[in-house]
A and B are shown apart, each in its own frame.
Chain A
């Protein structure tokens, strides 16, 4: 069966392969390469078998060495599956994977072998039919990474093997990116895959509907499912139109979406069973909800589509967990619920965010100091943290800073953290705890000099072990190798600005005043 939207493409492809297949076809598909390749495989499988048409569909990301590629292609073309019992023997009486020549010899051997078994009789004469071959390579962009030497020979394979053979590359890259700069790769025939419309996309996702008799996938509910998908598509289409992504989100949301209908059904069935008395005999069919109920359902659940997209499209959560977390309350339809807060607004906490909550107070200061050390340039330290006698106002650069040459300077926190030695971290830490931690300290009469307490604090073993602990948690990242003894160890902060801001707020530190560049 050809997927909706791909009819013209499939016709064109069938026409190409059944008449006179060009030696080299390139399909550049940026949006749905996996669907295109599944269409091609179904086209290839449906081709007439006279003359025989052998095909192999391989994924370049799994064939990351030449041997793997040769073996996968030859085994698939020969339709051979290695069996454990026979010692996982490959097809043929010799190895075809030594080099490209061996691969070509293997292809010829397969062609000869197949033409022996397929003959045709015309006017009493038996002639052998030479099989046609097609080799489809998905994710061909990986070839450039792993096997750049093979691109030219592969593109000229039909010519060098002297077989009726077609190479089909499917890739997210345009051919100009893959083509070797210097080389004699011929230009392919470009075939453009179609762009899927809304109806096509929805139809593809509907095809995934399991159609079993279990309640949530009862065929009666199919029209509702279509309506559900249509709304889901409207919400998700600005971000992704990939049918597989939509199907994933739908799979997570549908059980919750249909739960109120099923609750209602169970309630009604229970009532009827009570009335009639015999629960076993009564067959009460599940029916599609009324139009009014559908509209209410869609209105209730539409806000949750956005949260599903935000959580599931980047895979911040998985479908099962998300569905479990977002189950609607029971008997939603009959309770006359307005839907204003269907979902508890639990903010999606990133792992970093929850980690910072469990850190000890000193570690939070270390983290903050590390963030400042990674964000502020070294030469601004005296200006930012210096405690001169006259307490000059710390001057921060105002407005949009421009360096010479008129280019706008990019804040360091957009360019990524800079590397700092542990000494600088400790110095900034000392300032921070001197300024912002004094109030929470226990009385310590033994420290008389100003700043002596902080000085002691940053020299404690626990401070250093805190640094190492944060490194182990990957909130700091050690840049210098541990075996290097000369010089202080170098670090880089690995938390984002948002996390730093939350930590600072927790500690009562005005973070933005301490960053040398405007935010």
Chain B
């Protein structure tokens, strides 16, 4: 169980359609509108004359209305810069988060120090340790653990066992995986008696396996394998991703055994250390643990968080976009040219607003990287610099993709069926059959003088209906059965009235508008 509330698509901030600008920063609506209309609303005062012309007089930087072509000797630089930025996007650079005087350092730094201490305790001194790393999605949990591990591994490299609650859906699978990873990292063969089914390629079996509890391994395996962990030749670090999923396993046997072994791990008994690191984004994970498991858990919880204020967010954006090139690719003057263009890009009011909005909605760094990916990729010698238009475009697509933006590309009969479905809903029927919509459609064609679609045969309109079903605009309310003829299967529409209205208005067909308008009259 993960809490959905931190997900960008379910944030309860009302309709998050990107087309409607949110008034987060206090700008007047008039200004906003002007900004959106002009893709590069750079006032002429911004670029200083020294920056405007670099090397050649014919070349102008972005900000002026027309972007000239990039000089040929910079083309390799642009390519190299693109590659560098893409690499930085997949692995964002660390920046020093801004903190006011006297404020505590960022959560991730604190957590990093704590985690390093804890791992050092286990790896160097041979302690048994357990902790939970909790933080929202994209706040750097996995990164934190990896960084801490690599720091600790400088001295002694531990055996690292990585498990994920999403993959090891029951303890039997988890045990197999532990044994496999142990044997691969130590070179010793460890069997947990799971050979009995490996010769039987029966498909039903792994379905049964995924059912979980039914095929739990005998409890005897758990202690016997896990209690060997401290006696391995090297200290062991077990990382449990999606820790909350493990808490849902039967009797929490794996967690119990792991934490029990950790607790009984004593310094100086000649054994190596063991550390259990649970990673989760569920805040109440500790409450999921049974009492006997909880009492064996150390209770240490490290919290991670995304960028704390919008300045960090901007700084990170700047750091990603101006990532320095290697010595080989750098050409004299490119760094200044590129840096200047990025600065101007980030200074643009619409860019600032868009980034601020994004930060206010999701403090997920991965979202930022996704938003920046397409504009960076689309850079070419013909348009060598980032523009606010491309960023806004990308935000519309990535931050909260409107699932039904394809409605306008639907064929004509499909739009007619959508309007008919709106009519049935207005008439008080949320579910409908194909026959109902078809009847409404036929009536409409009969009533209106202009009948742009022939309906004899009825095949095409049926195909349109099936297309709508196949793209999930119409969703069946009951499982399909062979007893019901397919024109009488009940569906409901996934698209609400407003969206249909917008689509019809965008298409601009008069007869369709009128037809949709009729349902409005009935409605009122």
Contact = CB atoms under 8 A, between A and B. Distances in A.
How many residues of B sit at the interface, in one of the four size bands? 35 or more
A198 interface: no
B167 A414 contact: no
A181 B3 CA distance: 10
A408 B4 contact: no
B279 to A, nearest CB: 10
A177 B403 CA distance: 9
B374 A12 contact: yes
Question: What secondary structure prevails in chain A residues at the interface with B?
Answer: loop
A28 B401 CA distance: 10
Given A101-B180, A172-B470, A19 B83 contact: yes
A149 B83 CA distance: 35
Given A65-B203, A99-B206, A239-B460, 19 more contacts: A12-B377, A12-B378, A16-B373, A20-B90, A28-B401, A30-B406, A98-B206, A99-B173, A104-B167, A153-B164, A156-B164, A172-B470, A175-B401, A182-B1, A189-B373, A238-B452, A313-B459, A316-B457, A407-B428
A308 to B, nearest CB: 12
A492 B209 CA distance: 42
A405 B428 contact: yes
Contacts of B8: 187
B454 A184 contact: no
20 contacts: A12-B377, A30-B406, A99-B173, A101-B177, A101-B180, A149-B169, A152-B166, A160-B164, A173-B472, A176-B9, A177-B472, A184-B242, A187-B366, A187-B367, A237-B411, A239-B412, A239-B464, A410-B429, A416-B484, A417-B488
A414 B176 contact: no
B2 A99 contact: no
B460 A190 contact: no
Interface in B371-399: 373-374, 377-378, 397-398
A386 interface: no
B137 interface: yes
B487 to A, nearest CB: 8
Nearest to A8: B378
Contact of A174 (B1, B164, B403): B403
Interface stretch (B111-119, B295-303, B431-439): B431-439
Which of B164, B429, B456 has most A Cβ within 10 Å?
Answer: B164
B259 to A, nearest CB: 22
A506 to B, nearest CB: 21
Nearest to A175: B401
A240 interface: yes
A240 B203 CA distance: 40
Contacts of B89: 20
A82 interface: no
A296 interface: no
Task: For the complex of A and B, list the 3 residue pairs with the smallest distance between their C-beta atoms, beginning with the closest.
Answer: A416-B488, A407-B428, A314-B459
B185 to A, nearest CB: 13
Contact of B401 (A20, A159, A173, A174): A174
Which of A149, A183, A414 has most B Cβ within 10 Å?
Answer: A414
A195 B209 CA distance: 44
Contact of B488 (A22, A177, A415): A415
Interface of A: 12, 15-16, 19-22, 28, 30-31, 65-67, 95, 97-101, 104-105, 141, 149, 152-153, 156, 159-160, 172-177, 181-184, 186-187, 189-190, 192, 195, 237-241, 306, 309-311, 313-314, 316, 348, 405-408, 410, 413-417, 477, 479, 492, 494, 496
Interface of B: 1-2, 4, 8-9, 82-83, 86-87, 89-90, 137, 142, 162, 164, 166-169, 173, 176-177, 180, 198, 201, 203, 206-207, 209-210, 241-242, 281, 366-367, 370, 373-374, 377-378, 397-398, 401, 403-404, 406, 409-413, 427-429, 433, 435-436, 439, 452-454, 456-457, 459-460, 462-464, 470-472, 483-485, 487-488
B411 A239 contact: yes
A318 to B, nearest CB: 14
Contacts of B367: 187
B389 to A, nearest CB: 15
B404 to A, nearest CB: 8
Contacts of A406: 428
A195 B405 CA distance: 12
Contacts of A95: 198, 201
A240 B86 contact: no
B353 to A, nearest CB: 22
Contact of A19 (B86, B241, B454): B86
Nearest to B244: A184
A489 to B, nearest CB: 14
A162 B372 CA distance: 24
Which of B142, B180, B485, B488 has most A Cβ within 10 Å?
Answer: B485
